[in-house]
Amino acid sequence: MTGRARSRRGVRLDLGGPAGLVLTTHDGQRFTVVTPDPETAAELQATVTQATSSGDVRNRLQK
């Protein structure tokens, strides 16, 4: 893991591989997760989208 969430480039979590997902929070923090393959990136994206739409992510971050 490298970087800072509030920097322009954000935090980078590299699990090794050619695919990645960039997540940006409402307050501008940026996280990039590099995954071993496109399928893992797509699965991560679906999980984050589902958690965000159900409110789970917001609730966890506020605790």
Residue 6 domain flag: no
What pTM did the predictor assign? 0.69
Residue 16 domain flag: yes
The candidate with the shortest Cα–Cα distance to 33, out of 61, 57, 3, is 3
- pLDDT tens digits for 7-47? 777 888 888 899 888 888 878 888 889 999 999 988 988 88
Count of domains forming the chain = 1
The candidate with the shortest Cα–Cα distance to 25, out of 43, 44, 52, 46, is 52
Which residues form the domain of 19? 11-54
Residue with tokens 């966890």: 60
Residue with tokens 């591989």: 17
Which pLDDT belongs to residue 55? Answer: 65
Alpha-carbon span 20 to 14, nearest angstrom: 9
Which pLDDT belongs to residue 57? Answer: 59
Residue 2 domain flag: no
Residue 3 domain flag: no
Residue 41 domain flag: yes
Residue 59 domain flag: no
Residue 33 domain flag: yes
Residue 15 domain flag: yes
